[in-house]
A = this chain, B = another copy of it.
């Protein structure tokens, strides 16, 4: 089965109709697990898909998030970032270079949702920040 067909399947699992654009965005997310911004996705796909509009990238990612196929991250106050890995894991952002990395070695209990009588808590995001090793030398 070729990658595009696999991606079609994956989208259908989330009740997302696979268009050419949606498949391209999902494939990009699967192959580039760097928590890309809208702009990064758009600029990466544009060369091979010159008619693609940024509006479509926005629409597509909103849809993916709504259907639960990707996670929208708030860790970066400059831009929205997207993560195709929807499993429970934390993120780290470097205050110097701005890159976002996964943090997997944290206790799963971190992701347990607290019970509250004031709110219905549905999700949690754990965001660490600091300096990454590449930036530390500079």
State the A residues within 8 Å of B (CB). Answer: 72, 74-77, 80, 90, 92, 94-95, 101, 103, 105-107, 109-110, 113-114, 116-133, 136
Contact = CB atoms under 8 A, between A and B. Distances in A.
A77 B124 CA distance: 14
A116 B136 CA distance: 14
A11 B107 CA distance: 37
A133 B114 contact: no
Contacts of A101: 118-119
B113 A121 contact: no
Nearest to A80: B77
Contact of A92 (B94, B121, B131, B133): B121
